[in-house]
Structure 1
């Protein structure tokens, strides 16, 4: 269990280190910046969507509250008036009351009727439509009304409920638009005995809506269940009494007793959020309809600020990410340069001594493991101290760079390595290369330097030349990389002691100093193993 826990902890630690290393990489910074932006943008979008939904539901709640206020006011006013109509209907159904003298009869009939600004006089009609009594005598202009719609409807009713007419222009009210509110008068024996009628001015509904507000483009309306408009906000007298029973909005109104939906008004074409309620016990529907543009006005303002802040955040994030990526790139370049400097020679650009030691050790172990040959060339510039003393150190540096470049140009394979061993000495590591092939490569390098024809008055050849020693891991005495390097170094020493500008290679039969077994080449000839 402990081992498993340690393994898990080690795995998590390695994973965290890998994530941390990726995060401080320019590409990682870019990915993190993009993820941060996407996360922030997603959060802002989610907040805006929630805020938009809240604005919608808040508008619905406000609409419901307004419809409830309208319903309660209308129900209360109509109920008060209806109580008066009932009282008059009860008195008119009593023969004793109706047989009283006119003044006394009227006093008994209209003792309790409610009087208000928008309530008209109450009139009692007999079964034949003849006016029998009125709360205000001066309002009686026609004494016979058997042909009007509200009388006919009341006479044909089978129930004793309140009757509400469609809006009409009342002659007795000076042409004002009113609603007729009526109740049947039923005799003690259950027969139709007439109608009690009062009127309610449409101005009541208009003033009721005028006291409320749902925005500049919003609207409110009171409409009968048959589709006849009683009033709306904003008010237009020409709209009162119009039939909207075929309007899509009204059709939606009639689906349920209360609800909300989004629709386009038939009157002005404005898209609104409709919240409606059927008034219980009355043939009225009240609707509140704020314009969608105003419902989301506050949300749009917040969304604009969020968008602006998001844009500023995006610019800041992009600038910060770019600056950080630039700095990380600069550091990566600097680190790469330091690593290159740590592994490369500053003057020639070849691998340095430390890198050579690492490579030679690795390649020797690989050759031993795979059973393949490994060859090493040790190169030394002939009479370099004399060249330096005669031509100066700058010229010496120039020669070192030219020689290094020409050596590198003759080593083609990706797995081969060329390094500056120190001063005017160079080494070439040739994996999977036997002694014969190594000598051929060495000879190509020697000739390439010879053909540079760099003047050297202190040399017996009159130009810059090199001596090369070669050794291979295939010999019994090259048991490790140190022995291989020593063998190639001694072969180079032999090349110098036998005339310079030549290639010598090491064989185990002669040890490291037996001249008779060190092959060499003449100055202009190729060496052969």
Structure 2
């Protein structure tokens, strides 16, 4: 990993990986935070539902006891024989003075009012068509019945629900009902005090699907039957639960929590809108996510800058290394590098028992050339000769170096004497064909003499002897007329 990060592209790659890791960790944290927000909303909805349920159960328990007291009193002849005002006070016991309660009535078997909690003289009215009457009439074992919402005929159309119980004759036949009306304002005020966000909803629903009350309140929603809604089917599937769905009433997607009342045919539903649940989370996620993206991009940009700096540094180091290993004038290896190459190739040749050759090249009468044409022309001639040498050693293992002044050495691994002579001849010819004028030369142009030396595995010598042999061959070339190749073989 450290090696990768030391390369320019490795730094950028590492920067991208770190930035992605940062963004990934941020994403995981934000996702966990989102789940936490959902769980908090679910717990809040559960607590709200429990509060509303217990309030309703407590009040309905009192209403049920009041109804049962009237049923018991109606079965006692002594109570029925009392004067109307005493009978009313005894039967109803100030139950109807409670807030949100409407009329408490006793109806006969025909649905007519026979006893009225509001007056000693019963009001006129027949309610044989109401469900709270017909259900009790047709089903002796209903017990406490809670009706769907209706508009009260005795109280100017006030939205209400009725709790009723059956009255029976001693033989079990239907004798009428006792009912108590509950104003829907009770549920409206109860739900209005529950804070569930601007798009939250609380509903009380009868198990037959009738909407008893819903917050936010809409008069057209009360009494509406939602038995075919997907949400309502979920309400009936288990005693309590939580799920996300889109409301059939307003099309808002919410997290629903519901509870079925254990002793009443009612369902309490609390639903927070998902847009409210995640509102704070979205702001936090946007802020943190934006900062993390900015930091990530900044980190990548910094990595790119560091990569560019490293590339420049590596280029500079490469150039310095090249300058340290090459001759500044000719571009060939310098003498120090030549020593390393000779040592390396010599050892390889001895280890692999392969042939090994050297070329020792010297420009003829170069001092006279400098004296005649000047040092700048001499440098140009050296550079031209070096290019000729470089152009004629094509194998990757072959190398050339400036040995000093106008002298050059070419290292030819895995090259026998004949091959070395051939390369030397090509170099000599190419230098001559440059046609660089040299008035002090017998040839009238710049030429070079080359000595070659070769080694094979049967010989016992070292690289110094190889250089000395090539130098002696070079001396022989110069002594026998210059501008020629003279081979020397170690014996």
TM-score calculated relative to the size of structure 1? 0.88
* Residue-by-residue CA offset, 1:117-144 (whole Å, 9 max, x unaligned): 2101212234454533221117843255
- Classify the secondary structure of the residue corresponding to 1:238: coil
* Residue-by-residue CA offset, 1:48-89 (whole Å, 9 max, x unaligned): 211111111111111111111110111112122222222222
CA contact (8 A) 2:350 2:457 kept: no
Match for residue 131 of structure 1? 113
Match for residue 326 of structure 2? 344
CA contact (8 A) 2:330 2:387 kept: yes
**Alignment partner for residue 388 of structure 1, among 370, 390, 412?**
370
Match for residue 64 of structure 1? 46
**Alignment partner for residue 440 of structure 2, among 455, 458, 461?**
458
* Residue-by-residue CA offset, 1:249-275 (whole Å, 9 max, x unaligned): 111111111111111111221111111
CA contact (8 A) 1:420 1:427 kept: yes
Match for residue 277 of structure 1? 259
CA contact (8 A) 2:113 2:123 kept: no
For structure 1, which segment, 157-166 or 446-455, has the greater mean C-alpha deviation from structure 2 after superposition? 157-166
- Classify the secondary structure of the residue corresponding to 1:136: coil
Verify: 1:436 aligned to 2:435, yes or no.
no
CA contact (8 A) 2:455 2:490 kept: no
Match for residue 488 of structure 1? 470
Change (3 A) 1:255 1:440: same
Aligned residue pairs, count: 491
The CA distance in 2 between the partners of 1:204 and 1:112, in whole Å, is 18
Of structures 1 and 2, the one with the larger relative CO (CA 8 A, separation 6+) is 2
Match for residue 75 of structure 1? 57
* Residue-by-residue CA offset, 1:348-402 (whole Å, 9 max, x unaligned): 1111112211222222222233332211110111122222223222111111101
TM-score calculated relative to the size of structure 2? 0.94
Match for residue 356 of structure 1? 338
Match for residue 285 of structure 2? 303
The CA distance in 2 between the partners of 1:310 and 1:139, in whole Å, is 78
Change (3 A) 1:365 1:110: closer
Change (3 A) 1:500 1:440: same
Change (3 A) 1:322 1:268: same
Alignment of 1:418-437 (within 5 A): 418-437=400-419
Change (3 A) 1:150 1:473: same
Change (3 A) 1:472 1:147: closer
Match for residue 199 of structure 1? 181
The CA distance in 1 between the partners of 2:16 and 2:93, in whole Å, is 82
Flag structure 1 segments of 5+ consecutive residues without an equivalent.
1-18, 510-529
For structure 1, which segment, 138-147 or 418-427, has the greater mean C-alpha deviation from structure 2 after superposition? 138-147
CA contact (8 A) 1:478 1:484 kept: no
Change (3 A) 1:185 1:378: same
For structure 1, which segment, 460-469 or 138-147, has the greater mean C-alpha deviation from structure 2 after superposition? 138-147
- Classify the secondary structure of the residue corresponding to 2:409: strand
Alignment of 1:172-321 (within 5 A): 172-186=154-168, 192-321=174-303
Change (3 A) 1:174 1:467: same
Match for residue 89 of structure 1? 71
Flag structure 2 segments of 5+ consecutive residues without an equivalent.
none
CA contact (8 A) 2:16 2:300 kept: no
CA contact (8 A) 1:258 1:276 kept: yes
Match for residue 397 of structure 2? 415
The CA distance in 1 between the partners of 2:151 and 2:56, in whole Å, is 21
CA contact (8 A) 1:470 1:491 kept: yes
The alignment's C-alpha RMSD in Å is 2.1
